[in-house]
Structures are given as structure tokens and as C-alpha cells.
């Protein structure tokens, strides 16, 4: 709200994420000096998104975890398969063919990945 040439707002948000806690702690430390950092941060954001100044834009904030379970499993599976492929290459060059025991160990390792499901 604008009154006497100044803007006054009340801001409240939860402490549900690391970002919220970090920002909340910084704002608490700033005390009565937080307005300049808010103006600076929002000015940078508006400059990066000039469409916000038109009356027709909509602000949408999405918060997502860095990795979900499926992404993590795909990443682990990919790394293990890459390492196993390297083992196959080493085994192929050092032996005429991979031993049956090695193949069995590799199969067990891949089967154990299913435990992450």
C-alpha cells in the first residue's frame, strides 16, 4: 500500500524448505534495513522478466526436489551399467572371453539394482 510517498507491505512465509529458512534468517538479521535488498532483488527479477510489467502476465513459481526416486534410480543404473561396460571391455581384452563367474556376478549386481524400486 502506498501512503505518504512510501510503500508498506507485510510479508510472511513458512520455514518449509532450506531456501525459505536461509532467506528468513537473512531478513531477520537485516532488521529495518531489509527494504533495499528486497527492492534490489525484485528489480533484478523484473529486468530479467520484463513481461511482468504488462498487465497480462502471470507469475508461477515451481518448487521441485533436486532428484526424485526415479531419477536417482536411473542415474545409479546408468553409472553401474557404464562401469560394468568398462569391466567387459577390460575382460574382453585380457581374456579370450569373460568367465562364467564374472557374467554371473554382473547379473547379480544388475538384479540387486531392482531393490531400489
Ramachandran sector of residue 31 (left: φ over 0; alpha: ψ -120 to 50; beta: rest): left
- Position 31 scores a pLDDT of 86
Ramachandran sector of residue 23 (left: φ over 0; alpha: ψ -120 to 50; beta: rest): alpha
Q: Considering Cα of 74, then 80, then 85, then 88, what sign does the dihedral take?
A: negative
- Position 97 scores a pLDDT of 53
What the block records as the C-alpha cell of 11 is: 510479508
Tens digits of per-residue pLDDT, 70-92?
Answer: 888 898 899 999 988 888 776 66
- Share of residues in the chain with pLDDT > 70 (%): 86
**Span 45-50, average pLDDT:** 88
- Position 27 scores a pLDDT of 92
User: Residue 117 pLDDT > 90, yes or no?
Assistant: no
Q: Could you give the CA distance from residue 8 to residue 21 in angstroms, rounded to a whole number?
A: 23
What is the pTM for the complete model shown? 0.44
Task: Tell me which DSSP letter residue 6 carries.
Answer: E
- Position 105 scores a pLDDT of 80
Domain boundaries, the chain: 2-53, 69-116
Amino acid at each position: 500500500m502506498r501512503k505518504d510517498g512510501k510503500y508498506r507491505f507485510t510479508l510472511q512465509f513458512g520455514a518449509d524448505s532450506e531456501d525459505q529458512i536461509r532467506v528468513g534468517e537473512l531478513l531477520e538479521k537485516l532488521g529495518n534495513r531489509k527494504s533495499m535488498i528486497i527492492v534490489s532483488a525484485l528489480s533484478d527479477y523484473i529486468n530479467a522478466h520484463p513481461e511482468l510489467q504488462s498487465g497480462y502476465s502471470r507469475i508461477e513459481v515451481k518448487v521441485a526436489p533436486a532428484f526424485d526416486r526415479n531419477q536417482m534410480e536411473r542415474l545409479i543404473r546408468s553409472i553401474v551399467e557404464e562401469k560394468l561396460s568398462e569391466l567387459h571391455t577390460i575382460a574382453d581384452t585380457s581374456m579370450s572371453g569373460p568367465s562364467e563367474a564374472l557374467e554371473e556376478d554382473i547379473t547379480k549386481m544388475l538384479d540387486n539394482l531392482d531393490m531400489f524400486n
